[in-house]
A and B are shown apart, each in its own frame.
Chain A
């Protein structure tokens, strides 16, 4: 191979991006995360739960800060706080304004996070890394943890699929047919909590919600069939995450920044495409 060709390949695909074991782990975790977030995001979008999706990762971050202080695996703290926060929102959300409850639990979670951070004697680099996410530190054990939690999350979604879809699209009908809206709601929040726990270590607590909101919102502009929207949302999430991981490897900048930017671009493109299609259709077939 000529040296200029190697130069090009190195520019496109940085050396070691597929061969380092930590990078292989990052690719694997990233793929799992994108699938979970793409599917769960579809329901987040359908139910208008963007605030909950934004709050749970930050609540989880507080748990991770506590785990770092106690020298426990941060994933434990993350999972316990994210799922605990989800249960708290579901439990207190009854008979109250949902957004107020989310805001209050979020604020208290973060207050607790500030407390745990102040308990850490030196600069809590491990905890701060969870704000931004990182791809270099993913161990094989963490990939297995991620896979187990993701499988749990997807299994819950498979079981919930029909009642959840029904309750999200036509809540009154669903209730009349005997679907318990309240328990569906709590289970769904738990799903978001678990999805959060797998996403935060790589994408970071500040921006992991972008994967739950962006791809599904983009997909909703391109198709109206639930199964298609879900697949499209997974595809957009996969693409954003893969490109994001590659760019983060090249630059050393946080993955969350790239993922968020790519997701917003996907949303903008989808929205413009949909508008363009509508205006073209109305030109081709004027109103009868």
Chain B
């Protein structure tokens, strides 16, 4: 029994401070991203969610260049980007192109910053691919508090958010302030994406945002069940990814471990593909109905 355990959890897994910190932070962001992601998938805003992480990366690159920290850059730029995308893409037809052009403008600048950052070896990789094992322990309480705040906010706004995401027109006719809810949701998305991108890298935050959510929406048609399910799937993929990355330390070919992001994105995609085998039931509806 012990041998099996030590085979699965390589020695030192639970006593290593970096690993414990990574498990906690990774778990927190996975839960928030999974919950926010359900609405992102329902509203068809995966591109906006992905664009925010890219723009957050531009902010992080600029912030590092100016001597600041990555976290301020990530959060401030993704929030600004969220507001811009929301303002420019009022008509759904324009939204794709509007998102693309805002992304072009910001990423243009960001690639310049990143290019200058390449003089610091490893900075672009850190921003693009993340560094869950090297995150500052001092950040943990701030990021956790922010995550808790977002979950509480989502709980308060739950009913109007669900209503306007399923059918904006009906919700509007019944007096829900659809535009305001949309804007607040966009900011929630931005903060969640900014946090995720900081920890698992801007290029990979999209996986945790839409993967668990779309998997959950395939398995249940009730939003009230899809949200906790998405959070659970995200948590599972992240923890398993961290475990595999820790275990892979002596794997070939380089002998210094495989990246966490590879395992997490692989697990997320695999679970989604598996969920496609699940028979499709009724279209998504709210639990309260």
Contacts and interface: CB of A to CB of B under 8 A. Distances in A.
- Binding partners A and B: yes
A45 interface: yes
A115 B262 contact: yes
A116 to B, nearest CB: 9
Contacts of A188: none
Contacts of A58: 203
Contact of B100 (A118, A204, A209): A209
A267 B122 CA distance: 34
A125 B174 CA distance: 57
Nearest to B57: A206
Interface in A77-128: 92, 96-97, 99-100, 102-108, 110-115, 117-119, 121, 123, 128
B262 A114 contact: yes
Contact of A117 (B108, B118, B125, B266): B125
A104 B111 contact: no
Contacts of B103: 54
Contacts of A123: 121-122
Interface in B182-221: 201, 203-204, 206-207, 209-211, 214
A107 B108 contact: no
B97 A213 contact: yes
Interface in B247-286: 253-254, 256-259, 261-266, 268-269, 272-273, 276
Given A106-B206, A209-B104, A50 B96 contact: yes
Nearest to B121: A123
Interface string B88-129: 000001001101110111011111101100100110110011
Interface in B49-77: 49-50
A104 B269 contact: yes
Contact of B50 (A51, A96, A113): A51
A189 interface: no
A114 B47 contact: no
A119 B257 CA distance: 9
B50 A213 contact: no
Interface stretch (A27-35, A141-149, A168-176, A254-262): A254-262
A54 B100 contact: yes
Contacts of A105: 269
A253 interface: yes
B254 A110 contact: no
A131 to B, nearest CB: 7
Contact of B204 (A102, A110, A214, A256): A110
A160 B128 CA distance: 36
Given A118-B258, A128-B118, A107 B201 contact: no
A114 B96 contact: no
Nearest to B110: A206
Q: Do most interface residues of chain A lie in helix, strand or loop, or is the interface mixed? A: helix
A217 interface: yes
Q: Do most interface residues of chain B lie in helix, strand or loop, or is the interface mixed? A: helix
A168 B103 CA distance: 24
B253 to A, nearest CB: 6
Contacts of A117: 125, 129, 259
Given A210-B108, A261-B108, A267-B101, A115 B44 contact: no
Contacts of B211: 103-104, 107
A255 to B, nearest CB: 10
A261 B106 CA distance: 9
Given A118-B258, A261-B105, A254 B203 contact: no
A112 B105 contact: no
A230 interface: no
A118 B97 contact: no
Contacts of A115: 258-259, 262
B125 A207 contact: no
Contacts of A112: 262, 265
Interface string A207-231: 1011001100100000000000000
B41 interface: yes
A48 B44 contact: no
Contacts of A39: none
B115 A260 contact: no
B18 interface: no
Nearest to B125: A117
23 contacts: A99-B46, A103-B46, A103-B50, A107-B204, A108-B266, A108-B269, A110-B203, A110-B261, A111-B207, A111-B262, A111-B264, A114-B259, A117-B125, A131-B128, A204-B111, A206-B107, A206-B110, A207-B104, A210-B108, A213-B101, A253-B112, A257-B111, A257-B112
Interface of A: 45, 48-51, 53-54, 58, 92, 96-97, 99-100, 102-108, 110-115, 117-119, 121, 123, 128, 131-132, 204, 206-207, 209-210, 213-214, 217, 253-254, 256-257, 259-261, 263-264, 267
8 residue pairs, one from A and one from B, having the closest CB atoms: A260-B108, A111-B265, A107-B207, A50-B100, A99-B46, A115-B262, A51-B47, A210-B104
Given A51-B96, A210-B107, A257-B108, 9 more contacts: A54-B103, A104-B207, A104-B211, A105-B269, A110-B204, A115-B258, A123-B121, A128-B118, A131-B111
